[in-house]
Structures are given as C-alpha cells and as structure tokens.
Amino acid sequence: MGLVIAIDGPAAAGKGTLSKRVAQTYGFAHLDTGALYRAVGVAVLRAGGDPADAEAAAQAARALRPDDGILNDPALRSDEAAQAASKVAAVPAVRAALLDFQRRFATTPPGGAPGAVLDGRDVGTVVCPNADAKLFVTASVEVRAERRLKELRERGIPAIPSDVLEDMKARDARDSQRTVAPLLPAADAFVLDTSALDADQAFAAATAFIGTKTGFGPKV
C-alpha cells in the first residue's frame, strides 16, 4: 500500500487546486471525493428525483461505477450539483455505498502510483483515518464566497454576491451540523488557512507539512 494524503475542507477553500498540484508533484493518484457525491446528486436530478430523498440518493450511489462517464461530466461543476451533493452526502446509505470505493482507491492507487491524494470533507476523519498526512484547508466564508463568485462569473454564470455568500453559509451549516461525518478537522490534521495565501504559498505550506509527516519528497 502506498502513502495516503487526506485533504479536507469547506467549499472554495482551495483544497481542490492544492490536492491536484500535490498529487502531480508527488506522482500520486488523485481522487476528488466530492465528485462522487456530485455525481450521485446529478444522477438523482436527471432521474427527476429529489437529492434529499434518501432512497433515491442511495440507489444512485449504489449504481455508481468508477468508469462512469458522469464522473467527468462538466455538469458536476455547477452550483446545482454542489447543492445536490451536500444533500445526498447527509444520507447514511449514500456514504456507506461510496466509502468502499474511496478506500479501495486509497489502498490500491490506479496506475501503480506510489500513493494517493484524496480531497473531500471527511477523508481524514472517516474515509482514511490512518492517512499518512492529513490537512484541513479552510478560509473565511467571505473570502470563499468571493472566490466562488469569481469562478461563477468566469464561467459566464450570473451571480449576486449576497446570494453566493448566503448559499455558502447555508452549505457550511448543513455540512458541519449533520449527524453523519460532519465537516471538521481530524484531531491530527494540519489546519491550513488560505484566506491570505496565494496558491504557491498554500502549496509550499502543505508540502512542508507532508514532508515532515512522510519524509516523501516531490517526484523528480
């Protein structure tokens, strides 16, 4: 089994960009665990269902396969998919159905990679509690809302700043207050606040921590 790096955090904190860069730098396989939940949410919506319907969400999760084209569907990046993902993630049966998928990826990285980077909301606390290095990437809700607003506008999606901020706060509350695997840092996670950091500074801090925990250097 290779090294496992768990990177958790709320929406728009920068964990996705950071995780991909860490994985590429170390030559590790990368899994955006949130994409699994987004895929389930989108599948439910496309079937005409309600993501908050536990039975419909669980059925969609059990039907998900690693080679499903939906995992690379651009629709997964929409705000609608994000909201649906947050709802299906609160369903215990959905989490159970996707847990094995994520753990297999971590313990047996595809392509013979020497390790895996998984980013999400409960990787360090639930999915891979024995990960070699755990990070919790965060930022103030105001900063994260500004980042999400910029992202939406760059994609040509109309957005009102106050609405984006309120949606972010509502999602944070839902993710942190759910009874099943709530969003919170693992006790042994390195909390990285990116509010005042650019991508390079966040990457430098993350790799410095990973190095102290694993002794593993970037792939040359």
**What percentage of the chain has pLDDT greater than the value 70?**
97
Q: Which residues are documented as binding site for ATP?
A: 9-17
Q: What is the pLDDT of residues 179-215, one digit of tens each?
A: 777 889 999 999 999 999 999 999 999 999 999 998 8
Q: What is the full DSSP assignment across the chain?
A: --EEEEEE--TTSSHHHHHHHHHHHHT-EEEEHHHHHHHHHHHHHHTT--TT-HHHHHHHHHH--TT-GGGG-GGGGSHHHHHHHHHHTT-HHHHHHHHHHHHHHHHS-GGG-SEEEEEESSIIIII-TT-SEEEEEE--HHHHHHHHHHHHHHTT----HHHHHHHHHHHHHHHHH-SSS-S---TT-EEEE-TT--HHHHHHHHHHHHHHHH-PPPP-
Q: Which residues are documented as binding site?
A: 9-17
For the chain, which residues make up each domain, given as ranges? 1-28+114-213, 32-108
Q: What is the pLDDT of residues 20-63, one digit of tens each?
A: 999 999 999 999 988 999 999 999 999 999 999 999 999 999 99
What does CATH list as the number for 1-28+114-213?
3.40.50.300
pTM of the shown model: 0.83
